[in-house]
Chain A
Amino acid sequence: MTDDTIDEGKLRDLMKEVAALPRTIEPPADSWAKIRAGIESTPARTTRTGFWQRPVFLAAAAVALVAGSSAVTAIAISRGGHNGAPAIVGAAPSHITLPVSDSGPASLAQFTVVESDYLRAVNDLSATLDAEQGSLSPETVAKLRESIKVIDAAILEARNALAADPANRTLIQMLANSYEQKVDLLKRTTEMARG
Chain B
Amino acid sequence: MTRHSALRKSTIPLQSEWSGNESSRDLVGRAQNGDVDAFELIYNEHSGRMYALCLRLMAGDQAAAAELMQDVFVRAWKNIAKFRGESAFTSWLHRLAVNAMLENARGDKRRTARVLPMEDTSQLGAFAADDSPELRMDLETAIARLPAGARTAFVLHDIEGYQHQEIAEQLGVAVGTVKAQLHRAHKLLIKALDR
Direct contact of A and B (CB under 8 A): yes
**Are A24 and B159 also in contact (CB < 8 A) when A11-B190, A13-B195, A17-B139 are?**
no
A36 to B44 alpha-carbon distance, docked (Å):
12
**Are A28 and B62 also in contact (CB < 8 A) when A14-B195, A38-B70, A39-B36 are?**
yes
B52 and A23 form a contact (CB under 8 A): yes
B43 and A35 form a contact (CB under 8 A): yes
A54 to B10 alpha-carbon distance, docked (Å):
38
Q: Once A and B bind, how many residue pairs between them come within 8 Å at the CB atom?
A: 109
Interface size class of A (residues with CB under 8 A): 35 or more
Bits for A12-30, please: 1 = Cβ < 8 Å to B, else 0: 0111011101111111100
B159 and A21 form a contact (CB under 8 A): yes
Smallest Cβ-Cβ distance to B194: which chain A residue? A10
B25 at the interface (CB under 8 A from A): no
The stretch that binds A, out of B100-108, B111-119, B127-135, B167-175, is: B100-108
Cβ contacts under 8 Å, A7 to chain B? 190, 195
B78 at the interface (CB under 8 A from A): yes
A6 at the interface (CB under 8 A from B): yes
A82 at the interface (CB under 8 A from B): no
B162 at the interface (CB under 8 A from A): no
B48 and A27 form a contact (CB under 8 A): yes
**Are A24 and B52 also in contact (CB < 8 A) when A14-B186, A39-B36, A51-B107 are?**
yes
A19 and B187 form a contact (CB under 8 A): no
A78 at the interface (CB under 8 A from B): no
A83 at the interface (CB under 8 A from B): no
Interface of A is mostly: loop
Smallest Cβ-Cβ distance to B63: which chain A residue? A28
B190 and A47 form a contact (CB under 8 A): no
A36 to B77 alpha-carbon distance, docked (Å):
10
A22 and B52 form a contact (CB under 8 A): yes
A23 and B12 form a contact (CB under 8 A): yes
A50 at the interface (CB under 8 A from B): yes
Bits for A141-170, please: 1 = Cβ < 8 Å to B, else 0: 000000000000000000000000000000
Cβ contacts under 8 Å, A36 to chain B? 36, 40
B73 at the interface (CB under 8 A from A): yes
B190 and A10 form a contact (CB under 8 A): yes
Smallest Cβ-Cβ distance to B65: which chain A residue? A27
A27 and B11 form a contact (CB under 8 A): no
Smallest Cβ-Cβ distance to A102: which chain B residue? B78
Cβ contacts under 8 Å, B10 to chain A? 19
Cβ contacts under 8 Å, B18 to chain A? none
B87 at the interface (CB under 8 A from A): no
B52 and A25 form a contact (CB under 8 A): yes
Bits for B1-27, please: 1 = Cβ < 8 Å to A, else 0: 000000000111001000000000000
A28 to B44 alpha-carbon distance, docked (Å):
12
A36 to B69 alpha-carbon distance, docked (Å):
13
A2 to B51 alpha-carbon distance, docked (Å):
38
A4-B183, A21-B159, A27-B69 known, 20 other contacts, Cβ within 8 Å? A11-B190, A14-B189, A15-B158, A17-B139, A21-B139, A22-B52, A23-B12, A24-B49, A25-B48, A25-B52, A31-B47, A31-B51, A36-B36, A39-B74, A39-B77, A45-B81, A46-B78, A49-B75, A49-B79, A51-B108
Which A residues contact B (CB, under 8 angstroms)? 4, 6-7, 10-11, 13-15, 17-19, 21-28, 31-32, 34-36, 38-40, 42, 45-47, 49-51, 54, 102
18 A-B pairs in the complex with CB atoms less than 8 angstroms apart: A11-B186, A14-B190, A15-B158, A17-B193, A18-B12, A23-B12, A24-B48, A25-B48, A25-B51, A27-B51, A28-B66, A32-B40, A36-B40, A42-B74, A45-B79, A47-B82, A50-B103, A54-B108
